[in-house]
Amino acid sequence: MTSPSSDPIGVAVVGYGLAGQTFHAPLISATPGLALRAVVSSRPAAVHADWPQVEILPDLDAALSRDDIGLIVVATPDALHAGQAIAALEAGRNVVVDKPFAQTLEQAEQVAAVAARSRGVISVFQNRRWDADFLTLKRLIADGELGEIAVFESHYDRFRPQVTDRWKDRRDGGVWADLGPHLIDQAVQLFGAPQSVLADMARQRPGAHATDWFHVVLQYERLRVIVQAGHVAADASLRYAVHGTGGSFIKRGLDAQEGQSKAGLRPGDADWGVDPNPGELIRQIDGETTRQTVTPERGDYVRFYAGVRDAITTGAPPPVTLDQALTVMRIIDVGERSTAEGRRIEV
């Protein structure tokens, strides 16, 4: 489904929880060529408090019945992703699915099979490709500042020691399904798919219903990528520790864009995407340790939706391709099997 560049693409966001409210609606509204026209939600007051002009729809079918909506954004709980994406594709719409792509690899492959015979564009919302610190790290690696990378540690820890009744604390896969896709996608963007995976996952909090901690090693020929997240880390500041033959990059603190959106800032505001915690480049030169603050890139999640718009209007590749999304899902699946079997498993 294509749209002339002069005619905005109408968008409906399905779901208005954290993903819809904090990420999708603000980013869509900030993207030239896209028009947020409707939200499927049972919380009309919350939607209209943020977007008074947007129409509230009762369900996905209502959105699919609208001729002025060309892009469906699936921002619902994981269990609904595959079915809603398939329904939208079969209705001839373009689709963005929040991560994880689906609840299981099998479901993701079913969506891919429908997408292959559909005329719609599909992409998965891997917004953290446009984190300020990840863009900075990509630049350092591309410029050879770190030499050959030997160890790449990527952390996304939190301090939430009490289990809640939120669906995210009960979701299949737990924190591995929640944060794993972000960390895996970033690693694959930098280094490609790993040869094998060795995973350890646990339920550490009393009463935990699902995985709430993981430590997963993505194994390449020489490189080791460690991705880790958990809910019992009072000091959750470490984001990256990257070590190479040319030096190390240490970064603390998360990208600011999610927090900025929750605080009411919007893309285009002066401070949007500015990283308040720049990383540090550490080298050994003639036996002396040098430390250099690295000038950070500016984070820019809008680039994801600009890429979706261009894929729809010009036929450009979507910002996250189906193959890339399936690679992440395969690694998610292999990680779960590695934990269950207690061994390394080839991807």
Q: 92 lies in a domain?
A: yes
Are 231 and 283 in the same domain? yes
Whichever domain contains 16, its CATH number is 3.40.50.720
Q: 239 lies in a domain?
A: yes
Q: 121 lies in a domain?
A: yes
Task: Give the Cα separation of 30 and 36 in Å (integer).
Answer: 10
Residue 143: per-residue pLDDT: 98
Are 148 and 166 in the same domain? yes
Are 118 and 45 in the same domain? yes
Per residue in 142-199, pLDDT (tens digit) is: 999 999 999 999 999 999 999 988 887 888 899 999 999 999 999 999 999 999 999 9
Are 229 and 194 in the same domain? yes
Are 35 and 148 in the same domain? no
Domain count of the fold of the chain = 2
Are 118 and 196 in the same domain? no
Q: 68 is in which domain, residue-wise?
A: 9-127+303-316
Whichever domain contains 226, its CATH number is 3.30.360.10
Per residue in 197-212, pLDDT (tens digit) is: 999 999 999 999 999 9
Q: 85 lies in a domain?
A: yes
Q: 321 lies in a domain?
A: no
Are 191 and 233 in the same domain? yes
Please give the structure tokens belonging to residue 108. 């993701």
Q: Is the pLDDT of residue 2 over 50?
A: no
> 3-state SS string over 249-318?
EEEECCCCHHHHHHCCCCCCCCCCCCCCCCCEEEEEECCEEEEEECCCCCCCCHHHHHHHHHHHHHCCCC
Specify the pTM.
0.95
| Residue count of the chain | 347
Q: What average pLDDT does the segment 113-133 reach?
A: 97
What 8-state DSSP symbol labels residue 294?
P
Higher pLDDT, 306 or 2: 306
Are 87 and 180 in the same domain? no
Are 199 and 337 in the same domain? yes
Are 142 and 83 in the same domain? no
Are 55 and 149 in the same domain? no
Question: Which of 172, 237, 250 has the alpha carbon at shortest distance from 211?
Answer: 172
Q: Any bridge partners for residue 79, and if so which?
A: none
Per residue in 16-53, pLDDT (tens digit) is: 999 999 999 999 999 999 999 999 999 999 999 999 99
Are 113 and 146 in the same domain? no
3-state DSSP assignment of residue 287: coil
